[in-house]
């Protein structure tokens, strides 16, 4: 199993900021998976910012209208979901994240079963099982193909009447 941890000084708020990050070459599928978390975090400050970042990560196949609606349905009012993929967060600390922002991405025994694709995993601190991002290679770059980071997780303690 290969594991890579990415550290970011800040969470980008625009597609330009995302592209300016050192690791943005997208020549490694692990990079694309980590950047997906950053892009989803932008949803909180504006859906269009998030969509623009995801479009950049998806390369020649931008988000469809259906995908945008799905993201809206899954992340509206749930900014904590993408933050749960950062190391050091938890329901108890309301998924609070401080710099450096760290995302750990890993592969598994079935990550490379389809030629030209990579299925990589990221742990949510609010879930019992890891979630995944599927990437597709085009030339020497890896682009986001499918995102499976949206399922519900444990709500932050501040929102939990039973905590």
pLDDT for position 88: 97
pLDDT for position 23: 83
pLDDT for position 117: 98
Kindly report whether the global pTM for this prediction surpasses the value 0.75: yes
Tell me, yes or no, whether 103 lies in a domain.
yes
Tell me, yes or no, whether 95 lies in a domain.
yes
pLDDT for position 138: 97
Q: What is the mean pLDDT of each run of 10 residues along the chain (163 residues)?
A: 96 96 93 98 96 98 96 96 98 96 97 98 97 98 97 93 81
Tell me, yes or no, whether 163 lies in a domain.
no
Query: In which domain, by residue range, is 70 found?
Result: 3-155
- With a CB cutoff of 8 Å and minimum separation 6, the contacts of 144 are 32, 33, 36, 54, 57, 58, 59, 133, 134, 135
Nearest CA to 36 among 20, 50, 17? 50
Tell me, yes or no, whether 160 lies in a domain.
no
Tell me, yes or no, whether 92 lies in a domain.
yes
Tell me, yes or no, whether 162 lies in a domain.
no
pLDDT for position 19: 96
How many separate domains does the chain show?
A: 1
Tell me, yes or no, whether 35 lies in a domain.
yes
pLDDT for position 64: 97
Tell me, yes or no, whether 161 lies in a domain.
no
């Amino acid at each position: 199993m290969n594991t890579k941890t990415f550290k970011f000084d800040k969470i980008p708020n625009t597609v330009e900021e995302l592209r300016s990050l050192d690791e943005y070459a997208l020549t490694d599928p692990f990079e694309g998976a980590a950047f997906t978390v950053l892009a989803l975090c932008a949803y909180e400050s504006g859906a269009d910012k998030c969509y623009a970042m995801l479009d950049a990560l998806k390369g020649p196949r931008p988000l469809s209208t259906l995908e945008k609606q799905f993201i809206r349905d899954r992340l509206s009012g749930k900014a904590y979901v993408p933050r749960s993929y950062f190391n050091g967060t938890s329901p108890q600390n309301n998924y609070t994240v401080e710099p450096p922002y760290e995302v750990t991405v890993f592969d598994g025994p079935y990550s490379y079963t389809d030629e030209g694709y990579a299925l990589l995993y990221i742990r949510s601190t609010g879930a019992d099982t890891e979630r995944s991002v599927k990437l597709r290679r085009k030339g020497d770059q890896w682009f986001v193909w499918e995102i499976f980071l949206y399922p519900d997780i444990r709500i932050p303690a501040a929102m939990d009447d039973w905590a």
